[in-house]
Amino acid sequence: MEKVNYFEEVEKTLNISFNDKELIDTALTHSSYANGKKGVKFNERMEFLGDSVLQLCISEYLFLIYKSKSEGELTKKRSLIVCENSLYEVAKKWNIGKYIKMSKGEEITGGRERTSILANCVEAIIAAIYIDSGYKKTKQFIIDSFKDIIEKAIKNQIVLDYKTNLQEIVQQDGDIHIEYMLIKYEGPPHRRKFYTKVCVANNVMGSGVGYTKKESEQNAAQDALKKLKSEDKWNKEGIDTNEK
């Protein structure tokens, strides 16, 4: 992709223009790409700044909008909005993974889909906008970008621990057995990918993939929750416990 078209496409995706194109270029450069290249800047320092700006903008927004909520309630809501999963959701909405500059090795091992890389990139983009355009414009960008997530947080529709949530749902009418089983793993020792399935009362209810066992189990639980809801099994009668 030509550099001019690259910047134009990124700006169109984000619906924002940069005065200093180098800022967004740095925000989209992973450390693996800069390794061994003299003078190439990468986004780790910008992640640090972007995290702080995001925290402040969301804190201010919640403080001003929800005047009756306590400090504890506001903190809980903010933690749901400003977390890796939420940042990842925003990154996927932008399809930002396709624009990140990274090494071939990082790309081959799934870097363009990796939760941490995408989440960190969102923070770096926020920092780039803050440096380039100031606080007011950055705050509006954040509120617009995180609008759906903010609404879900306020309505208590964001779940961080899918395993616990699944357990609460399926065991509401009794001690129904839940088991997470590692199906396989692949890849080099430093970048293993794990595949897990979750069984509820001996029925396979979901599957998940992750770069740690914990992540794959959480994704399997999330998959199971989606299926339970779509199959209309999420009701007062509980889950069919007949073995298949």
Task: Please give the positions annotated as active site.
Answer: 51, 123
How far is the first Cα of the chain from the last one, in angstroms, to the nearest whole number? 51
Distance of CA 172 to the CA centre of its chain: 29
- Sign of the dihedral through C-alpha 107, 197, 116, 228: positive
106 is in an annotated binding site: no
Rounded Cα gap, residues 169 and 228, in angstroms: 10
Could you tell me if 233 and 240 are in contact, meaning their C-beta atoms sit under 8 angstroms apart? Answer: yes
179 is in an annotated binding site: no
Q: Which of 162, 149, 146 is nearest to 206 (CA)?
A: 162
123 is in an annotated binding site: yes
Cα–Cα distances (Å) from 166 to 180, 189, 192, in that order, read 12, 30, 26
> Using CB atoms within 10 A of its CB, is residue 186 exposed (0-12), middle (13-18) or buried (19+)?
exposed
Which residue positions form the known binding site for Mg(2+)?
47, 120, 123
**Binding site membership: which residues?**
47, 120, 123
